[in-house]
Amino acid sequence: MTFSLERPETVGEAIRILSDPSYAPAVPLAGGTDLLLDVDEGRIPARTVVSLARLPWRTLHWEGDTLVVGATLPFAKLPAEAGVRTRLPGLVDAVEAVGSLALRHRATLGGNLGRAAPASDVLPILLAVGAVVRLVSASGEREVPIGQFVRGSRETSLARAELIESVAIPSAPRSAYVWQRVRPANDVSQVGVAVAWAGAPGAWQVALGGVLPTPVRVAEAEAQLPNDPPTAAEIDLAARAAAAGAAFTTDKRATESYRRRLVSTLVRRGFARAMAAGGVP
């Protein structure tokens, strides 16, 4: 046997086990779709796995215009909730891009953030709309903007024995997430592009996933989009600016030059989709 499993019923108990040296190394378990493979293959050492399944975090509610998604809500529950599809279409695009329906019956948003994968399909839209991660630990609660939360692949600003409790996601009725893969299901996106209108002139936000070790906002592209709705020429400039950015990754899934072409194409598609979602002709 590789690890022992704890199934605490309260947040306090979960944090206590995660901090207790006699359980170390101890790691939290949500859906397990990343963690179990990481533990099996020795990428994450674990003597104790602490299941979050009994914690009261399988939740979803609105705080005014902000959707608050509990860390352990399975992805499959999210698109069906009232209002989510119209108020955050880009989030629904991203969630429905993850794996397969059977995977989404277990995989969670908390787990996706905990893994902080370079090609996560969820992180770009969270960056584009300016989501905030709510954390809890023995020393209390704190909030971290998503851009500061993710530091690298499997690197986050989580302290030891600190947990993601929920994610606060401002609504963006004009938003979209588009992606390209070799195979549509259960494959890693070569590039993912999120675009969102943040509600103020000059406030189109563009974020890329899969091109660098962490998802990034592209200020150079955003600067080309002063108007709402943007003109075709502005979108064209933004697509070029996004593709001209930092040195993109080359790996087994795509070369850097192919990624640049994808970024340019996907930025255009993302705008078309976001404007259709928001009812702009």
Partner 1 sequence: MTGPVALVVNGVPAPATDVPDDERLLDTLRWRLGRKGTKEGCRTGDCGACTVLVDGETTLSCLTLTHEVAGAAITTIEGIADDGLGRRVQSAFAEEDALQCGYCTPGFIVAVTGVLAELGPNATRESILDALQGNLCRCTGYLAIQRAVERVRGGTP
Ligand X SMILES: Cc1cc2nc3c(=O)[nH]c(=O)nc-3n(C[C@H](O)[C@H](O)[C@H](O)COP(=O)(O)OP(=O)(O)OC[C@H]3O[C@@H](n4cnc5c(N)ncnc54)[C@H](O)[C@@H]3O)c2cc1C
Residues contributing to the site for partner 1 (CB under 8 A): 1-5, 7, 29, 31-33, 36-37, 49, 51, 53, 76, 99-103, 105-106, 184-186
**Contact residues for ligand X (CB under 6 A)?**
27-35, 52, 71, 97-99, 103, 106-108, 110-112, 114-115, 117, 120-122, 158, 163-164, 186
Partner from ligand X, partner 1, none contacting 264, C-beta within 5 to 8 A by type: none
- Indicate the residue among 27 and 239 with the shorter CB distance to ligand X: 27
* Partner from partner 1, ligand X, none binding residue 62, C-beta < 5-8 Å depending on class: none
Nearer to ligand X, 107 or 274 (CB): 107
User: What is the phi/psi pair of residue 240, to 5°?
Assistant: -65, -40
Closest listed residue to residue 164, CA positions, set 188, 144, 139: 144
* Shortest distance (Å) from residue 6 CB to partner 1: 9
With CB under 5 to 8 Å by kind, the binding choice for 7 among ligand X, partner 1, none is: partner 1
Beta-strand pair 175-180/26-29: unpaired
Give CA–CA dist 121/93, Å, rounded.
9
Alpha-carbon span 120 to 74, nearest angstrom: 16
Task: Pull the structure tokens for residue 144.
Answer: 């971290």
Helix, strand, coil percentages, rounded to 5, for the chain: 35, 25, 40
CB of 137 to ligand X, least distance (A): 10
Mutual angle of helices 256-277 and 89-97, in 10-degree steps: 140
163 binds, among ligand X, partner 1, none (CB under 5 to 8 A by kind): ligand X
